[in-house]
Amino acid sequence: MESEQANMIPGENKDSPGDPQTELDLPPEYCHYRDGGCEFADSCLNCPFPRCIYDKPGGKQHWLKEMRNREMARLFTTEGKAVKELALMFGVSQRTVQRALKNCLSA
């Protein structure tokens, strides 16, 4: 009995072969992962972002706000839109527009 235990892999239970502890940990090239992507890319391998926006908490929301703020700054500087107009266009308060313009234009 002791010789059988010496040949066993640690964590392996001879009585239950389907036990998750005894399943093989295959290298990635032998595993098939589903890469469904997200709303920004068809697959993770074709993603335009250098790092997945879902890795950080609030990553998607942060990215969308950043894009909104850049668009506000562009419209303010190139097309001469007023703060009140931008607030109505984007459905935010005038103070939010002022804060976005301050952050975008000072950077």
The whole-number pLDDT of residue 4 equals 53
Q: Quick check: is 11 in a domain? A: no
DSSP result, 76-91: HHHS---HHHHHHHHT
Element (H, E) at 65: helix 59-78
**Alpha-carbon span 18 to 43, nearest angstrom:** 32
The whole-number pLDDT of residue 10 equals 52
Q: Quick check: is 14 in a domain? A: no
The whole-number pLDDT of residue 87 equals 96
The whole-number pLDDT of residue 30 equals 74
Q: Give me 85's structure tokens.
A: 């107009």
The whole-number pLDDT of residue 24 equals 73
Per-residue pLDDT of the chain (107 residues; tens, 9 = 90+): 555 555 555 544 555 555 556 677 777 777 777 888 888 889 888 888 888 888 888 888 999 999 999 999 999 999 999 999 999 999 999 999 999 999 988 87
Q: Quick check: is 93 in a domain? A: yes
Q: Quick check: is 50 in a domain? A: yes
**Alpha-carbon span 30 to 7, nearest angstrom:** 26
Per the structure, the complete domain to which residue 49 belongs is given by: 25-106
Residue 58: name the closest of 50, 68, 70, 66 by CA: 66
Number of Cβ within 10 Å of residue 100's Cβ equals: 23
The whole-number pLDDT of residue 15 equals 52
**Alpha-carbon span 54 to 36, nearest angstrom:** 14
The whole-number pLDDT of residue 105 equals 84
Overall number of domains in the chain: 1
